[in-house]
């Protein structure tokens, strides 16, 4: 897709894909707040939990790579989640420099309470399944393209 640099509307806020994605992301996080708050989770904490439900007992680096967070952001979050009883952090027996994150019993148990979350959010967004599938495919392609180009 080529951008017409002479278009007078080029820099209008409502014409920016990045702004629409930013606002949509904020709205999704806002929609999750009343669902996650009673569980003691923030949206970012919920993302950590979903990653651990897929692949428990992993290193901080691997977890950060999976959810696109650096260790400077992830470590304080994991400390709070450990204090709240969702995860435990342990030094790796193979490499003392590596910290392994594992779900606790509470971390496993909260998964059941979250099973209806995706459906609730999709219903709130009022997306048809085919629209959601196309959007997801395009977003994944964009993420991949940005990571490949380093932009």
Say what percent of the chain tops pLDDT 70.
99
Give yes or no for residue 1 having a pLDDT over 90. no
Q: How many CB atoms lie within 10 A of CB 10?
A: 11
> How confident is the model at residue 130, as a pLDDT?
80
Mean pLDDT computed over every residue of the chain: 92
- What number of residues does the chain have? 151
> How confident is the model at residue 66, as a pLDDT?
96
Task: Render pLDDT for 70-119 as a digit per residue (tens, 0 to 9).
Answer: 989 999 999 999 999 999 999 988 887 889 999 999 999 999 999 999 88
Task: Render pLDDT for 6-26 as a digit per residue (tens, 0 to 9).
Answer: 888 888 999 899 999 999 999
Give yes or no for residue 4 having a pLDDT over 80. no
Distances (CA, A) of 148 to 101, 141, 143, 151: 28, 10, 9, 8
Give yes or no for residue 2 having a pLDDT over 80. no
Rounded CA-CA distance 121/106 in Å is: 24
Distances (CA, A) of 7 to 4, 13, 16: 6, 14, 13
Q: Do residues 45 and 33 make contact, with C-beta atoms less than 8 angstroms apart?
A: no
Overall pTM surpassing 0.95 (yes/no): no
Contact residues for 26 (Cβ-Cβ < 8 A; gap 6+)? none
| Closest C-alpha to 34, from 98, 105, 115, 120 | 120
> How confident is the model at residue 131, as a pLDDT?
84
> How confident is the model at residue 105, as a pLDDT?
97
Determine the 3-state secondary structure of 62 from DSSP.
Answer: helix
| DSSP H or E stretch at residue 2 | none
Q: What integer is the mean pLDDT of 34-57?
A: 97
């Amino acid at each position: 897709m080529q951008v017409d640099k002479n278009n007078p509307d080029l820099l209008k806020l409502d014409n920016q894909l990045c702004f629409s994605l930013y606002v949509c992301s904020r709205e999704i996080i806002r929609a999750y707040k009343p669902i996650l708050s009673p569980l003691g989770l923030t949206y970012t904490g919920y993302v950590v939990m979903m990653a651990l439900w897929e692949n428990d007992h992993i290193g901080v680096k691997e977890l950060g790579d999976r959810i696109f967070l650096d260790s400077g952001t992830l470590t304080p979050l994991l400390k709070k989640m450990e204090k709240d009883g969702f995860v435990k952090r342990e030094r790796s027996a193979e490499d003392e420099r590596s910290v392994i994150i594992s779900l606790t019993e509470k971390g496993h148990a909260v998964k059941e309470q979250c099973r209806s979350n995706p459906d609730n959010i999709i219903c709130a967004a009022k997306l048809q399944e085919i629209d959601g599938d196309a959007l997801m495919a395009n977003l994944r392609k964009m993420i991949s393209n940005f990571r490949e180009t380093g932009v």
